[in-house]
């Protein structure tokens, strides 16, 4: 019998929401410079199941000046989801470029720059 994934779109108590954000922030803080992770992979790493959209919303609410490496999170297949001409999109591309992660046609090479924490533990 398949296990049901939790419904992360349902309203949660504030303390549960904060616990989820804390898990997300802890996982995000571990993504090393020069590497990227998808929204879905980040959700899984944080123990949030298949909550990629929730991760995107949560990252969109980070306070200005955060030290978390939000720019290292990309959409599936390495697609940069922030529009090219938006301030956040420009900043993401610039930060990634400084770290040696180049984009081509709005994508980064996920095979080359994707972070695989289990592979890097050995």
How confident is the model at residue 15, as a pLDDT? 76
What are the structural domains of the chain? Answer: 15-121 (1.10.10.10)
How confident is the model at residue 122, as a pLDDT? 47
Please give the chain's pLDDT, 122 residues, in tens.
Answer: 455 555 544 555 677 889 999 999 999 999 999 999 999 999 999 999 999 999 999 999 998 889 999 999 999 999 999 999 999 999 999 999 999 999 999 999 999 999 988 765 54
How confident is the model at residue 64, as a pLDDT? 87
Output the pTM of the full model: 0.84
How confident is the model at residue 48, as a pLDDT? 95
Helices and strands, number each (H, E), in the chain: 6, 4
Beta-ladder partners of 37: 73
**Closest C-alpha to 82, from 101, 50, 56:** 56
- Contact between 35 and 11 under an 8 Å Cβ cutoff? The reply is no
């Amino acid at each position: 019998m398949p296990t049901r994934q939790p419904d992360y779109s349902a309203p949660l108590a504030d303390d549960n929401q904060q616990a989820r954000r804390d898990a997300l922030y802890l996982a995000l803080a571990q993504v090393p410079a020069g590497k990227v992770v998808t929204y879905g992979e980040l959700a899984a790493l944080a123990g949030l199941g298949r909550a990629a959209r929730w991760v995107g919303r949560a990252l969109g609410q980070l306070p200005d000046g955060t030290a978390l490496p939000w720019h290292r999170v990309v959409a599936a297949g390495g697609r940069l989801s922030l529009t090219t001409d938006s301030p956040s999109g420009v900043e993401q591309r610039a930060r990634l470029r400084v770290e040696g992660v180049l984009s081509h046609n709005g994508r980064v090479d996920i095979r080359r720059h994707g972070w695989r924490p289990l592979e890097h533990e050995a």
